[in-house]
Every structure is written in structure tokens, then in C-alpha cells.
A and B are shown apart, each in its own frame.
Chain A
Amino acid sequence: MKVTVFVSPKNTVLDPQGAAVEHAMKSLGHESVEGVRVGKTITFKMGGSDSPESREKLDKLCDGLLSNPVIEDYRYEIEEG
């Protein structure tokens, strides 16, 4: 299966990068832009298919390594094949 993990800063946590990007967007004339948050995506292939067991493994991977639960949230998408 093909997995895409989206990691983003928690809404309650300051995102200095997002603030800087928002500032740049506004200076380009997009004054209505607000709430910019910068995260990251991590894509990989993994054995198995979409199942509760796979999701349990993925949650463990996301909580332990790919995101830091203190400051980040994550979600993932699974494509078969």
C-alpha cells in the first residue's frame, strides 16, 4: 500500500514559519489570506493493505517518529497498490 502522512503544527501551537509565509503572501497583495500553517508530508510504500492492524502500526509510527504529539497533529491517506 502507498501511504501519505500529513503532519501539521497543532492549532494551539505557534507556527513561526506559517506566520512568515502569511506575511509574504500578504505583501504579494493577497491581503485576505489568514491562518497559514506550514506542515510536511511524508510518503512511503509499506507491505500489507488498509486494515485495522495496518492503521494501528501507522498510528504507532506517526506518534513515535513522524510527528511529535506535543506540538503536531497528523493524518494519513492510504492507497492500495
Chain B
Amino acid sequence: MRVSILQFPGSNCDWDSEHAVKDVLGIPAQRVWHKDQLPAETEAVIVPGGFSFGDYLRCGAIARFSPIMRGLKEFAAKGGQVLGICNGFQILCESGLLPGALIRNDCLDFRCLNQPLVIEESNERFNPGTFGESIILPIAHGEGNYRADETVLSALEENDQILFRYDGNPNGSMNDIAGIRNSTGNVYGMMPHPERAVGSHHPCLDGLPVLKAFFEPLMQSRPCEVSVS
């Protein structure tokens, strides 16, 4: 098993993520309960979307203290690949694996739509050469309004840590930020849902290049068959 998909009480994108990784990309994956240990053979982790612990207190605030988070932090510190999607992004921010915080959308509405995104030149995996200048991904969140202080924000800009920005800001996010990575380039967080854009029953297939870019280090270390190109 190469990809671990964390499951908290209230996670609801765990199965979609597993489908996208295992059935569509052909990479072995399994869901791992938050009270279990992170399996030793894990090569990448997805922290999926949903409403972990009912979003009580703050989104991701309680999941942060789940037993599996200790293993996740050690995994990330060793350079392991981690992707947080939607609530997963909120959890990574709460746990300090990514900078900043996500607060209530400025419109106070839950935004559920197919969102155009502008691709930023972030690193060799996430850039307009890989994805094109813009893509569309589904968003579905009430707390996606990215906030950070000026120092953090300018560091994100200067180090090219912004992956994509909203084209038409749906939630009030600072600098239109929709997704970021950490400075070392192994922890990624995004409010849009790439796992909901990987099949003919989805609004588009723009999630595929995003997931492939994230999993690229795994592909290089031990190539595996990819069912959709």
C-alpha cells in the first residue's frame, strides 16, 4: 500500500479520494482510521475533505489532536508527501503543517460550484506548463477564506508557495489563494476538490493533472501503471 487516506469521524471525501487514487490513477491506496497508526509502508498521505468532528470549535481544530496526527507530522518532517483537500487543508493549517488559517467565507454562504482557478508557477510539479494557465475544479465549503499575517503572506508570495488562485474570488481569501504548499514542497493544501474531477460523471477531468503532479515523486520512485492518461 502506497497511499494512506486518513479517515476522521465526519470525513466524507475519503471514498472519493480512494476511488481517484486507486481506481483512476492505479496507485495502491487504503483508508486509515484516525485512531490507528500511519502504516509504515505509506509513501503519500491524503487528508480528505468533510466535516471532521462536526467542524466543532473550528474546522480541523479537533482532528489536529487525533492519534494519527503524530505519525503524520513525523512523516511530513521526513519529507513525506502530504495533500490536504478542503477540510484536510483546514486540518493541516490547524496542525501547523501549513501556515495560515481558513475562516468563514466573507459572503457567509456555503459555496458549492465549479470554480475557475489560475495556475501559479510554484515548482517543477505545480505550474502552468503542467496544467495550462487555468483549470476548473469543484469547490464546496463554508470556511475557505484563507487568512495569514503580512509576514506569512509575503513569504508565500516570495517563495512561490501559492499553487493556484481563484479566478473570481468566492470566499474572500487573501490574495485569492485557493491552494498552497509548504516551503520544502512536500505538504500541499487546497480548498478545491481534484478528486471530484477525475471521471466522466464529474463536471470535468481537471483534477487528474493535479493529483498526478502531487503523486509524481511516487511515480518516479517506482513506476506504476496509470489507467487514465
Binding site for B on A (CB under 8 A): 9, 12-14, 16-17, 19-20, 65-66, 68, 70-71
Contact = CB atoms under 8 A, between A and B. Distances in A.
A70 B147 contact: yes
B104 A71 contact: no
B104 A17 contact: yes
Interface stretch (B9-17, B57-65, B188-196, B208-216): B57-65
A66 B57 CA distance: 7
B106 A16 contact: yes
B100 A70 contact: yes
B108 A14 contact: no
Contact of A14 (B93, B94, B172): B172
Contacts of B58: 68
Interface of B is mostly: loop
B65 A65 contact: yes
B94 to A, nearest CB: 7
B101 A68 contact: yes
B103 A71 contact: yes
Contacts of A70: 93, 100-101, 147-149
B7 interface: no
A17 B222 CA distance: 49
B149 A12 contact: yes
B145 interface: yes
A68 B105 CA distance: 17
10 contacts: A9-B103, A14-B172, A16-B103, A16-B108, A65-B57, A65-B62, A66-B57, A68-B58, A68-B61, A70-B147
A13 B61 contact: no
Given A16-B108, A68-B61, A71-B101, 6 more contacts: A13-B103, A14-B106, A14-B145, A16-B107, A20-B108, A68-B58
